Structure 1
C-alpha cells in the first residue's frame, strides 16, 4: 500500500489537483508515513500545497493603502489655497479565493471626498492554462514592463494605465506570452487615478488591446496594440464623440548585468482626421538606463530621455507632488524633448533619500522649458508605516511672449500605511 501511495505522489499534479484529492492523499501519507520514509519518499511539497489551500480557501481578506498628506504650498499659478491637509490616497482591497483557480478582488477607493468601489474583477483559469479575467479592471502594460520609473509614486507611462469594463485573456508558452483585452473605457482621458465611479455616462468607446512579448534570461522584446473605437452619440463634444485612435508600440530591454538595464518603447498613432493636425500621426519614444544601487553602492540611477510629438494622445502626465509638469504642454506640430533623472538612496532598512530632475523643451516659440526639482527623505517606522518629507519645485517660465507663469513650490509630509 505504501508503494501505491508513493506512485500516486509521483503522478499527482499538486498545482491542478483538487483540495479534496490532496487531503485524501495527505491522510494516506500520514497513515503510511513510516513506510514512505523507509522508501525514501519526500512529501514536503504536498504538505505545503495543502497548507496554502487551507489558508486561502473560504475566507475574505482585507488589505489597503492610506496616504495622509500635509501640503504647504507657494503657487505663482492658479491655486488659491496654500495649505492642504487630507487623504492623498484611501484604498481598500477586498479579496476572496473562491476555489483553487478562481479569485475575486474588489477595490474601494475614496478620491477627493467621494467613496465607492472602482474596480471589481474575477480571475480564473480556462482550459489549456488560459488565464481569464472579467469585470472592471486596470491594465498598465508599460508599468508591468518597468518602462516608467518606480521611484515617483504619481508618475505614469507614456501610454497606458487604463480602466476598462471587459474581458482579458492571457497565455504563456515558455518565454512567450500573449494578452488580449476586449472591453469599454469610460473616456479617452481617464486613467486609474482620475476615475470617478459615478461617471457612467462617459462610457464612450470600445477598447481592443493586444500584447505579444518574449522574455529571455537577459532580454525582453515585444509589441502592443491599442484600438479605441468611439461610438458616443452625445453631442457635447462633437469632435471627439466618435473618435477612433489606434496606437501601436514596440518595446525592448537588455540586462547587461543584474544591476544595469537598458530599455525603451516606441509608439506611433493613427488618429481620425480633424482631431489631430492634417497628415500628422503623432509618435513618441523613450529610452531608459536603469542602474540599481547594487552596482553604484551609494545610489540607484534612473536616466530617461523621451521625445514626444505635442499632439500625441496618451497618459504621460509626469505629474509629481502638487505640480503638474505637463500643464503648459502645447498642442501643435512641435516635438517635446524630455529628461527625467532620478537618484534614489537606500541607506539602511529604515532610511532613504532621493533626488529628481525633470525638464521639457516644448519646441515652441515664446514658450520656455519647464524644469522641475524634487528632493525627499523617507523613514520606514514599521513594516506597515512610512513617513516621507518632500520638497518639489517646478518652474514654468514664460508660457507666452507676455505671460510669466512663474514657479510652483510645495513641501509635503506624507504618512503612508499599508496593511
Structure 2
C-alpha cells in the first residue's frame, strides 16, 4: 500500500485531481509514513508536493518569468537610402521580457487563466523605462460542457504549431495569434478536434501592423474562424489538418480584404531520440488585399512549408541537434521575423528583414546544436541562412553561440554572441552591412 501511495504522488495530475482526492492522498502519506520511510521514500518531499498541489486547487496560483538583458552591440545595417540611422540593435540595458501567469481553479471542471506580458520583447521598444502598452495575451475561463466538450471563452491564443513543436526560437509559420472569442475541443480516442470563432485578431508579430500597409488594417476588422483535426495515430506517428478563415467586415476599406489559410502536417519518431515532422500551408487571398500588399498582379494563392529534424543529445552524446528547412512564398501572410539577434528578440535584426511583398520565394535553413554539460552548465551553437529569389537582394546569414549557467532552479545567467550579415547593394528600404550583439541575460522564474 505504501508503494501505491508513493506512485500516486509521482503521477497525480493537479489539473484533474479533485481537492478531496488530494486531501485523501495526504492522509495516506501520514498514515503510511513509517512504511514509506522503510522503502526509502522521502516523505517530507512528498508531503510538500501534496501541499503544493492542494494550494494550487484551493486558491490563486501566481507564476512568472523575467529577463533582463545587457546588450553591447553595433553595426552598419541602416536601410539604404532612408533617413534611418544607427544600428538596429544598439548598446542598451532593458527589461527584455516580463510575464505574469495567474491561475484560479474554480472547481473540478473550471479554471480561470490570465497571462500578462510587458517589456522590450512585447512592446515595440519600451524596455528601458516604464513598461508602456503591456498586453494581455490570455484571459479566459476553461470549463467542460456536456458530452465531454471543452470550452474556453475570453482572450485566447491560437498556437497549434507550438503544440506539435514546429518552431523553437521566435515564431510560428502562421499560428501564434490572439483573438477574443470561443474555443471548443472534443476528443475521440487519439483524434482531437479544436474549433474557434473570434474577433479582434492580432498576431504576436507582423499581422494587422506595419507589414500590412498600405491598407493599414486594424485589429477589429475581421471575424475569425478555425478548425484543427489532430490524430495521434500511434506513439510514433501523428497527422493533422487545419483551416483558418478571416472574413473582412471593415466598412472603411474600399474592397475585399479577407483571406483563408489551409494547412496539413505530420510527424514521425523513428526512435525515442530521432524525430521528423513537416507542415504545409496554402492561402486564398482576396484580390484587393493581394494587390495592396504586393501591387497589381500580386500572387493571391501563396504557399509555405517547413520540415524539422530533431536528434536528442541522448543519441549523439555530445550535443542535441535541430535542423529546419523553410520555403515561403513572399506573398504568404504569416510571420516574417524568424530568429532575431540574441534569439527570441523579434524587434531586433533578423535574416528575413529584407523579405519583400512580391511573387518570389524565400528559402531558409536553421541549424541549432544544444549541449547540456551537467545540471548547471549548457550551451548552444546556431546558424540561420536566408536565400532570397528576389532580384537585387543578397542572401543573409546569422550565427551565434552562447553559454548558460543555472545558478539556482529559479535563476539563470546566459552570455551570448550573435552576428548577422545582410550583404550589400540591397537598395533603398533594405538592410545592408552587418550587425552583432554581445548579450548578457539574467532570467528569473518564480
Give the structure-2-normalised TM-score: 0.77
Contact 2:281–2:305 (CA under 8 A) maintained in structure 1:
yes
Report what 1:371 is aligned to. Answer: 397
- Aligned partner (choices 302, 309, 313) of residue 289 of structure 1: 309
Contact 2:298 2:331 in 1 (8 A): no
Does residue 299 of the first structure (1) align with residue 319 of the second (2)?
yes
Alignment-derived partner of residue 265 in structure 1: 279
Aligned to 1:203, what secondary structure does the other structure show?
A: helix
* Structure 1, 120-129 or 313-322: larger mean CA deviation: 313-322
Q: What is the CA-CA distance between 1:75 and the residue it aligns to?
A: 2.3
**Residues of 2 paired with 1:416 and 1:373: CA distance?**
22
User: Equivalent of 2:378, from 352, 358, 371?
Assistant: 352
1:49 Cα shift? 12
How far does the alpha carbon of each residue in 1:92-117 deviate from its partner, in whole angstroms, 9 at most, with x for none?
11211111111111222223221545
Change (3 A) 1:191 1:127: farther
C-alpha separation in 2, matches of 1:280 and 1:344: 39
Aligned with 1:138 (options 142, 151, 157):
157
Higher relative contact order (CA 8 A, sep 6+): 2
Aligned to 2:146: 127
1:185 aligns with 2:203: no
In the TM superposition, residue 205 of structure 1 has moved relative to its aligned partner by 0.8
Q: Go from structure 1 to structure 2 and tell me whether the alpha carbon gap of 1:176 and 1:399 turns closer, same or farther (over 3 Å shift).
A: farther
Which runs of structure 2 are paired with 1:199-238 in the superposition (5 Å)? 202-215=219-232, 216-235=234-253
Deviation, structure 1 residue 53: 7.3
Question: Kindly tell me: are residues 48 and 412 of structure 1, through their superposed partners in 2, closer, same or farther at Cα, counting changes over 3 Å?
Answer: closer
Counterparts of 1:29-40 in structure 2, within 5 Å, are none
1:156 matched to 2:171? The reply is: yes
The answer to whether the 8 Å contact 1:317/1:324 transfers is yes
- Partners in 2 of 1:336 and 1:301 — Cα distance? 23
Gaps of 5+ in 2: 1-13, 33-46, 79-84, 120-125, 210-216, 291-296, 342-347
Gaps of 5+ in 1: 1-13, 34-46, 195-199
- What is the aligned partner in structure 2 of residue 333 from structure 1? 359
Query: Are the aligned partners of 2:60 and 2:102 in contact in 1 as well (CA < 8 Å)?
Result: yes
